[in-house]
Structures are given as C-alpha cells and as structure tokens.
Amino acid sequence: MTKFSDLNLNPKVLKAIEEAGYETPTPIQEGAIPPALEGRDVLGIAQTGTGKTASFTLPMITLLHRGRARARMPRSLVLCPTRELAAQVAENFDIYAKHTKLTKALLIGGVSFKEQDQLIDKGVDVLIATPGRLLDHFERGKLLLTGVQIMVVDEADRMLDMGFIPDIERIFGLTPFTRQTLFFSATMAPEIERITNTFLSNPERVEVARQASASETIAQHVVVFRPSRKDREGSEKRAVLRAMIESEGENCRNGIIFCNRKVDVDVVAKSMKKNGYDAAPIHGDLDQSTRMRTLDGFRDGTLRFLVASDVAARGLDIPNVSHVFNYDVPSHAEDYVHRIGRTGRAGREGRAMMISVPRDDKNLEAIERLIQTEIPRMDNPAKVGAAPNAPEPAAEEAKPARTRTRTRREKPAAAPAETVEQPQPQTPAAAEESRGKSRSRPRGGERRKGEREAEVVGMGDDMPSFIALSFAERRTG
C-alpha cells in the first residue's frame, strides 16, 4: 500500500501531513502527485470528496518551498468557482505549509480591496482567488501574473456552470506559456475538454472513478411524493422532510438540506427553526461574513442543519456530515452527485435522501441514467399527501366538459294583451298647445310631485303633427 512517504514530498510537508492524521493517499492523490512533482501538466477527474484539494496543494508546496515571491507577482495561482471553496483551499494550504515560510493571499468578494492589496504588495507565493475578484485586481493595476509558475483550476465543471469559462480563458492568456497547469474537474463536458486541449500540454490524465459517479459509501433513497393539493405542496413537502429526519433518529447527527431556489432556502430554514430544529440558511444573497459564520457553526457542531443552495454544493470540506437531504430534485443531474458528495467523505458512511414530486420525474430519470443505477424508493414517513396508489384525477373530473348543445332559455309567457286606446288624431292647434307645454318646463328643473316625466322627442319646434302621431303610437304600442 502506497503511503505519503513514498511520494517524494518535502519532509516539512510530510511532517504536516502526519500531524494532520493522514498516512495513506487517496487514489486521486496517489495518481496526481507524482507527475505534478515532475513538473508535468495534470488533468484530474474525480468525484467530489476524494481529496482533490491535497492533490495539488501538496506538490505545489513542495515545488515552491525554495524561492521568494516579488511584490505583486505571485508564484502560483489557484482558481476556485466559489468563495467557500477558495477559503477551504486557503485553510488546507495553512495546514500543510505551516512548517514552511510560504505566504498566501486570498482574493474573494465581500472582503476589502485595501486588505488584499496590502498582502499582494508584500509579495505572496500562493494566490488563491475567484476569477471575478482576480480580474478586478488585475484591471486596477495591482497585480501581475507574468511570474506564475504553477496554475491550478479547481472544480472546472462548476466554473462552466457559473459562466466563468471566458474569464478562465482570459486568465490563461495573462500567465506565462511555460507555466505548469493542474486542472481538476468532477465531469468532463465538451467545453471543458476543449479548454484542456487548448491550454494543457500533454497532460497526465488521472481518472479514478467513472465520471459523475456517486461514492459507494453513500446509501441513497428517494421518497416519491404527491401532494394532496397543489396549494398544499410546500407545507406537505416540509412535513415530509421533517419526518425523514425523525425517521433517522440518532443516526442523523447533522445534515445539509439542498434547495434549488434561494427563496426556498429561506422558507425551509424558517420552517425548520419554527418546528424546533437548529437550522440556518446559506446562499449567494447573504453577505460573506454571515456565510462564513454559518459555515463555522456547522463545522464545529453548534449548528445541526445547514439549508443551502448549490453555492454550497461544491468544495465544502466538512468530513463529518452524516446526511444530505435533497428537498428538491436538482435540475442538472451532475449537481446531484456534488450534493450527495458532502456526505460519506474519506471512507465514512453517509446517507442521501431526496423528495421527488410528479414534475421531477424527468430530472429523476436523468440522475439515474447519469449514475447508472436506480435510486431505491422508500415509503413516505409523513402521513400527508395523496395516497401512494391513488389514481390521478381524470381530466373530465377536474373540469366539466363543455356541451355543444346549448339549452335554450324559455321565454316567459306573454302577458295578456291589454286593450290600449288608440290615440285620436290631433288638430294642428292641439299639437301646438302640447309642444308649448313641453317647452314651458325649465331645463334641469324638477318635476312636481306626482307628475310623470313626459318623453321629450327632439325633433324641433316645427315638427309636423303626423310625425308626433307616429311617436305617440310607438309609446302606447
């Protein structure tokens, strides 16, 4: 069995590894460290939680232990897709380089530019950054990348998902052509393959697991749940989540609950706290200090449940996560692998449980195709939702069908005809007298009590009597 002492690492690095409690490298570490120490480019493909961070941190410290960085010119560069992953790499560097004199700087958003500028001005050996903040410093003239000897791209497939590939290509162009490149990813999408072919020179390909496969130490289950009514889906789904946690009993020491949307992260976290569970949200809209404080609480055990969006799905090195709960089925099958990779790390056993509603059927099938296995179904532990074998409501029952035959409305019976006295023809004098009476009422004036309002026919003063007679007939008809 290979040990770290067999990998030609610097003695000071080996001492730090021993103090950290590690003896045997993981497969990705065993495959990537030797060619990296030889100065070759490395293309590492491994699932989340297999120790990729140490695969580039250990050889990088060994290669850089001699030499000194100049102001604003880092000797190595590590690019990470998220602030959390960059902070984790910085922590790993501190652990393994504590017996050396190497320096580092962490360039992430949410931190003052002034503090970061001061570190860069002093000169750092290792620069750990997210692409956006790195380019911000470069465009401000505070950073030069012409002295980079080793460049690391971590979680490249996540870079692709977050739209960082143009930034990565630009950064590659700012570094020397003679640099050594260590490129790590959990999956190899066509765009990632194109970048490796463009910027890596005859790399050593190290693939220790099938692409996007789930760890064998993780027990996976899914509850296929159908709400009783559409407007009750949210509340019933949260009840199912709580019942799943209760069904695990004391085995559920802690857990990460993943949601697809930030708004659901807040709702689920609030619901968990309302029902007596120690939970807190983490997503991209929270400020960096809140996110780091929440993560620290989850790491040290003061926080039991972390309700997260996919910003926390990659790179969080929390080795003792017992459970992962997928409140939502992820829209991208690869995200499922990264989510459940938060448990079952370093050979430990873990459990991943998921809730699937009818509209998630296609996404669930895509996940099972990707991991090439069927996720075992489990009974709904909560007594909510529609019955498991209840038939779907028929379309005709849900909405009454329209009938083409319209029911004709019956006309009310005609009232018995009344004998109406036909008006007698008026003489010209009588017609003139009638017109005079209608004109005598003032405009806008009020009627006298008991007086019926006469219908005014606006035909002018010289209306012939035969026309007045025809209107009178229409009124009485």
**Cα 252 to Cα 195: distance, rounded to the nearest angstrom:** 41
The SS3 of residue 85 is helix
Structure-token match 């690095």, residue found: 13
CA dihedral of 267, 270, 274, 276, whole degrees rounded to 10:
120
- What pLDDT sits at residue 390? 56
Region 29-33: mean pLDDT is 94
Flag whether pLDDT at 216 surpasses 90.
no
Contact 241, 267 (CB under 8 A): no
**Cα 260 to Cα 342: distance, rounded to the nearest angstrom:** 16
4-207 and 218-390: identical CATH topology:
yes
Contact 150, 119 (CB under 8 A): no
Q: Whats the size of the chain, residue-wise?
A: 477
The SS3 of residue 287 is coil
* Chain mean pLDDT for the chain: 83
Flag whether pLDDT at 96 surpasses 50.
yes
Contact 75, 102 (CB under 8 A): no
- What pLDDT sits at residue 399? 45
The predicted-structure confidence for 350-380, as pLDDT tens digits, reads as follows 999 999 999 999 999 999 998 889 999 999 9
For residue 84, what is the enclosing H or E element?
Answer: helix 83-96
Region 166-195: mean pLDDT is 92
* Cβ-proximal residues to 461 (8 Å cutoff; 6+ apart), any chain: 435, 439
User: Would you list the domain boundaries of the chain?
Assistant: 4-207, 218-390
Closest CA to 313 of 42, 43, 47, 109: 47
- What pLDDT sits at residue 215? 76
Looking at per-residue confidence, does 309 or 243 come out higher? 243
- What pLDDT sits at residue 70? 87
Region 73-100: mean pLDDT is 92
Contact 369, 212 (CB under 8 A): no
The SS3 of residue 66 is coil
For residue 213, the tally of other CB atoms under 10 A from its CB is 16
The predicted-structure confidence for 284-315, as pLDDT tens digits, reads as follows 788 878 888 998 899 899 999 999 987 655 65
**Cα 171 to Cα 139: distance, rounded to the nearest angstrom:** 12
Contact 33, 59 (CB under 8 A): yes
Rounded (5°) CA angle 251-256-261: 145
Quickly name the fold that domain 4-207 has: Rossmann fold (3.40.50)
CATH superfamily of 218-390: P-loop containing nucleotide triphosphate hydrolases (3.40.50.300)
The predicted-structure confidence for 259-277, as pLDDT tens digits, reads as follows 999 899 999 999 999 999 9
Flag whether pLDDT at 258 surpasses 80.
yes
Region 175-187: mean pLDDT is 92
Whether the predicted model's global pTM rises above the 0.75 cut? no
For residue 317, what is the enclosing H or E element?
Answer: none
- Percent share of the chain, pLDDT over 70: 77
- What pLDDT sits at residue 418? 45
Cα 247 vs. chain centroid, distance in angstroms?
27
Looking at per-residue confidence, does 470 or 204 come out higher? 204
- What pLDDT sits at residue 473? 55
- What pLDDT sits at residue 150? 97
Structure tokens at 231: 């407007």
How are strands ordered across the β-sheet holding 204-207? Answer: 104-107, 126-129, 76-79, 150-153, 180-185, 42-45, 204-207
**Three-state SS annotation for 329-391:** CCCCHHHHHHHHCCCCHHHCCEEEEEEECHHHHHHHHHHHHHHCCCCCECCCCCCCCCCCCCC
**Cα 17 to Cα 263: distance, rounded to the nearest angstrom:** 41
- What pLDDT sits at residue 389? 58
**Cα 183 to Cα 205: distance, rounded to the nearest angstrom:** 10
- What pLDDT sits at residue 472? 54
CA dihedral of 364, 156, 291, 302, whole degrees rounded to 10:
70
- What pLDDT sits at residue 158? 83
Contact 248, 323 (CB under 8 A): yes
C-alpha distances in Å from residue 392, one per residue of 225, 235, 262, 379, 389:
13, 21, 31, 19, 9
For residue 432, what is the enclosing H or E element?
Answer: helix 428-440
